[in-house]
Structure 1
Amino acid sequence: MLADSPDLNIGNTAFMLVCSALVMLMTPGLAFFYGGLVTKKNVLTIMIESFASLCWTTILWFSVGYSMCFGPTWHGIVGDPTYFAFLNGVRLNTIYVGNDAGIPLALHFVYQMMFAIIAPALITGAFANRVNFAAYLLFLTAWLVFVYFPFVHMVWSPDGLFLKMGVLDFAGGIVVHTTAGFGALASVIFIGRRCDSTDAPHNVPLMALGAGLLWFGWFGFNAGSEIGVDWVTVSSFVNTQLGAAFAGFTWLVLEWASVRRPNFVGLLTGAVAGLAAITPAAAYVSFGAAAVIGVSAGLVCYYAVAVRKIAGWDDALDVWGVHGVGGALGAILLGVFAARSWNPHGAAGLLLGGTRFFLSQCIAVIASAAWAFAFTYTALWLIDRVTWIRVDAETEKLVPTFLRS
């Protein structure tokens, strides 16, 4: 994967620099989105967890993460943690050779790093204001090393186990959203309910600002995953907008019919669900299929949140129902609607006779969800043996958890 060359594709490099910045912006956007949803006294608590990931994940990615994701494979499961450690051997003119985009390897490093930063930050919405900050940092480290890094390697590395099975996940419906969503569900079950499980967001404009930043950054998240500029870049950009818009409006209509008034929070939540669902499929499906995926995400994620409430799971910001279910749904529907006429490097979906591809997508979704859930629950149990995870009731009610060591 290392190759030195003075030949730099200026257009692709400029595009990927912009996309990297867009994806980075999604983490502060997530902080605002979550900050508007929680109660007023919990805003700083939820925000520091996102920004802590921005810093600590960067350090992990630089030291071992990129190497574990894209280094020489160990049985198709994880990369050699020493190969790219601290960008060993990477020079100014080292070119990324994963495709023929002609971008610096250091740029691929930083673009993928932004994905790694936001993935565990998504989980924080599930246990808002209930977790000791030191325990959160331990969990953040363990989850990246044992869940996120291996799944990036299995799905996106040329030698990855799932990629060799034919699994497709363009921008992270499996790698990011399914793993984070089902990890969130495990954390909700382990940690338990909040003392005050009020669902009413304290600041809808702050949430809207966060949703807007997420939506804006998602164009870099999806279109940038082509690692260059071509026809697929354009179609994935368009499909991103279609998926979000159709899902957001579907959720709006469903909630309007239920409560007899339009709900701005529902519209924003639905749009994020649509973004999660279109993420794995954006580069491999037609515009019409993207619209169908958006409508499906609005429907399925809306009712997933309803099921969560009936089950009594205190997923404070509906990470499982929006991201977990949305990402899994999108990956499965990719197995239905994929068409090589839209991307010759893709696959034929179930509607075009691709039964094996559809089954591979289902297997990858089930495996990622099961491992993320099982590891998250186990990791939290082990961390709780080292340092208490859940804050006491008084701290949860009165004091931001990051002020308590």
Structure 2
Amino acid sequence: MPSLDTGNTAWVLASSALVLLMTPGLAFFYGGMVRAKSVLNMLMMNFICIAVVTVAWVLYGWSVSFGNANDASGNGFWGGLKQWGMQDITTGIASNSHATIYGSTGVPIFAVACFQLMFAIITPALISGAIADRTKFVGWTVYVCAWVTVIYFPVAHWVFSPNGFINAKLHVMDFAGGTAVHINAGAGALACALVLGKRVGFKKDPMRPHNVPFVMLGAALLWFGWFGFNAGSALTSGGQASVVFMNTQVATCTAVIGWLAAEKIQHGKFTTVGAASGAVAGLVAITPACASVSPIGAIFVGLIPGFVCCYAVNLKNRFDFDDSLDVVGVHLVGGILGTLLIGFFAAPDEVSGFSNGAKAGLFYGGGASQLVSQAEGAGIVFAYSFIVSFILAKIVNATLGMRVTAEAEIAGIDQAEHAETAYDWGGLSGSLHRAAVSVAAATAAPSNGSAPTGTGESDEEKVNV
């Protein structure tokens, strides 16, 4: 019987905290890319995912996703409701009984449940970027709850549970969520963007990022948290986690290079937002492949998606749909590429173990069979997520409504939905006005150095301005 491993448990709990940090990081990443009048709404769309998904996870999400994970005869399509309310997984906690251990990892099921909860939180949050600037907060909140219930929880079981059919039957390699997280969220994002329609002024008005430092801060937090996302998925603190950690770093860096190269070819410049977006594209692509490729393979798993995703963000202009913050171009395309590239670069000498019956990639003598399996897994998740996401968005939009009025969108969704604004423009303009008056008065001072008159300000007030 497996016994408690405190080292592995500490790593999984620390990784859980890292992955949770990714959602606020995503909020800053997206928040910096929207216009100033929409930034609070974007932050709230991400933060509400933490609250809503956590409650759903405890009530039934864990059970549907992993409820029969230790049962060799478990259902391949969903985990059932036997462990609703996280029942039956607390047995033996006080005595560190084997009944609390997940598989052979030496990690308590509770710790694994905490870790997987963070994946469930950030996945619907990714969708929010596609419908930025125009989404009702209440409609979004209800949609998130429905989406994780009928889409994420079952798909997580297919991909992550030892009994899931994509894992156990198709032998798809997806170590940390290229299909369950990124393709899943990217398909949902595309569906929502089509249902909600285009923003007012799409392709006509400038919709540039309002705060590029926010974008870089968010990308940095995502990069930091992603080490928990990927390496934490090993559920151990040993050799596999070490290889995954290195591969994550390597692929992210080469993706930045790839994106910037494509950006230079397209536009003649290297942009800060491009560097941040390239990093995210690399993180997305290496997520499924991080335990099955060598560091050399990771170079290509980052470089190729980094270059391609820079072009893929133009799909919205080619096909005329409004994916506000390029979720489709980065997460959907990046997730698909990362999943498929495993079929080429999966290396049998790495520590992935190929424990689900998967085979080496095409470049390592395994033939094309694994590439076919990867394509099947990606296609199934995309089709299911897109169709059901589209139906859900239609239902919520027709009942509660998901899109704000054109007037609210133009005036500012922050004020309309939250009665707040991110920046005190009135106070700022007042300060600038006082500063301008002081400068003008100072330049008009007599040559003898005496103080100017008529400004109505004391010397102390001028210093404070």
User: TM over 0.5: same fold?
Assistant: yes
Equivalent residue number for residue 405 of structure 2: 392
Equivalent residue number for residue 353 of structure 1: 366
* AA matched with 1:229: S
1:199 Cα offset (Å) = 3.5
SS of residue in 1 equivalent to 2:129: coil
1:8 Cα offset (Å) = 2.3
Match of 2:16 among 20, 29, 37: 20
Match of 1:276 among 273, 284, 307: 284
1:130 Cα offset (Å) = 1.3
Match of 2:44 among 45, 48, 52: 48
Correspondence 1:296-375 to 2 at 5 A: 296-343=304-351, 345-346=353-354, 347-351=359-363, 352-375=365-388
Match of 1:211 among 203, 210, 219: 219
Correspondence 1:176-187 to 2 at 5 A: 176-187=181-192
Q: 2: distance between equivalents of 1:336 and 1:240? A: 18
Q: 1: distance between equivalents of 2:6 and 2:101? A: 16
Greater CA drift, 272-281 or 330-339: 330-339
Q: 2: distance between equivalents of 1:94 and 1:312? A: 57
Equivalent residue number for residue 194 of structure 1: 199
Greater CA drift, 39-48 or 390-399: 390-399
Equivalent residue number for residue 428 of structure 2: none
C-alpha distance 71-86 of structure 1, shift in aligned 2 (>3 A): closer
SS of residue in 1 equivalent to 2:288: coil
Greater CA drift, 96-105 or 250-259: 96-105
* AA matched with 1:8: L
* AA matched with 2:344: V
Greater CA drift, 142-151 or 350-359: 350-359
Ranges in structure 2 where 5+ consecutive residues have no aligned partner: 420-465
Correspondence 1:57-76 to 2 at 5 A: 57-72=53-68, 75-76=75-76
Q: 2: distance between equivalents of 1:392 and 1:35? A: 21
SS of residue in 2 equivalent to 1:316: coil
Write the deviation string for residues 28-58 of structure 1: whole angstroms up to 9, x where unpaired: 0000000100001111000001110011100
C-alpha distance 75-12 of structure 1, shift in aligned 2 (>3 A): closer
C-alpha distance 111-139 of structure 1, shift in aligned 2 (>3 A): same
Q: 2: distance between equivalents of 1:207 and 1:277? A: 20
Q: 2: distance between equivalents of 1:89 and 1:257? A: 54
C-alpha distance 184-344 of structure 1, shift in aligned 2 (>3 A): closer
SS of residue in 2 equivalent to 1:343: coil
1:17 Cα offset (Å) = 1.5
SS of residue in 2 equivalent to 1:81: coil
Q: 2: distance between equivalents of 1:292 and 1:76? A: 33
- Contact preservation (8 Å) 2:291, 2:352: no
* AA matched with 2:361: G
- Contact preservation (8 Å) 1:147, 1:372: yes
- Contact preservation (8 Å) 2:313, 2:329: yes
Equivalent residue number for residue 110 of structure 2: 106
The TM-score, its normalising length taken from structure 2, stands at 0.83
- 1:166 matches 2:171: yes
SS of residue in 1 equivalent to 2:153: helix
- 1:257 matches 2:265: yes
Q: 1: distance between equivalents of 2:101 and 2:348? A: 23
Q: 2: distance between equivalents of 1:262 and 1:397? A: 31
Q: 1: distance between equivalents of 2:163 and 2:52? A: 27
SS of residue in 2 equivalent to 1:279: helix
Equivalent residue number for residue 239 of structure 1: 247
Equivalent residue number for residue 390 of structure 2: 377
* AA matched with 1:11: G
* AA matched with 2:200: C
C-alpha distance 170-388 of structure 1, shift in aligned 2 (>3 A): same
* AA matched with 2:62: Y
1:88 Cα offset (Å) = 4.0
1:9 Cα offset (Å) = 1.2
1:309 Cα offset (Å) = 2.1
SS of residue in 2 equivalent to 1:78: coil
* AA matched with 1:85: G
Equivalent residue number for residue 402 of structure 1: 417
- Contact preservation (8 Å) 1:94, 1:105: no
Equivalent residue number for residue 79 of structure 1: 79
1:74 Cα offset (Å) = 6.8
Structure with larger Rg? 2
- Contact preservation (8 Å) 2:62, 2:83: no
- Contact preservation (8 Å) 1:64, 1:82: no
Greater CA drift, 196-205 or 226-235: 196-205
- Contact preservation (8 Å) 2:89, 2:109: no
Q: 2: distance between equivalents of 1:26 and 1:244? A: 16
1:68 Cα offset (Å) = 0.3
Count of residue correspondences: 400
C-alpha distance 340-41 of structure 1, shift in aligned 2 (>3 A): same
Match of 1:149 among 141, 145, 153: 153
Equivalent residue number for residue 434 of structure 2: none
C-alpha distance 333-310 of structure 1, shift in aligned 2 (>3 A): same
1:89 Cα offset (Å) = 4.3
Match of 1:135 among 132, 135, 139: 139
Equivalent residue number for residue 90 of structure 1: 90
1:271 Cα offset (Å) = 0.8
- Contact preservation (8 Å) 2:262, 2:311: no
1:289 Cα offset (Å) = 0.7
1:396 Cα offset (Å) = 1.2
1:231 Cα offset (Å) = 1.3
1:355 Cα offset (Å) = 2.4
* AA matched with 1:28: P
Q: 2: distance between equivalents of 1:353 and 1:102? A: 32
Alpha-carbon RMSD? 1.7
